[in-house]
């Protein structure tokens, strides 16, 4: 391998960036799902997910 510092440095930086972006997107999704679950658990739902008014009574 010629110029290993530059070749492995490039692949290492690209891998680190890609892993960071994947992790950030995935963790963001997990946190949002948890927030939605917490809201639903406290009885706050979207209008389309609420039972019809008549049936609720």
User: Minimum distance between the CB of residue 55 and another protein, rounded to whole angstroms?
Assistant: 20
For residue 45, give the DSSP letter.
Answer: -
For residue 53, give the DSSP letter.
Answer: H
User: Minimum distance between the CB of residue 5 and another protein, rounded to whole angstroms?
Assistant: 8
Separation in Å, CA 54 to CA 1, 19, 47, 48, 57:
74, 50, 14, 14, 6
> Does residue 41 interact with another protein by CB under 8 A?
no
> Does residue 25 interact with another protein by CB under 8 A?
yes
Quick one: which of 45, 52, 53, 56 contacts another protein (CB under 8 A)? 45
């Amino acid at each position: 391998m010629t110029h290993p510092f530059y070749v492995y440095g490039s692949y290492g930086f690209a891998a680190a960036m890609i892993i960071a972006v994947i992790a950030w997107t995935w963790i963001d999704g997990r946190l949002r799902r948890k927030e939605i679950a917490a809201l639903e658990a406290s009885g706050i739902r979207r209008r389309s997910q609420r039972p019809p008014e008549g049936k609720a009574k």
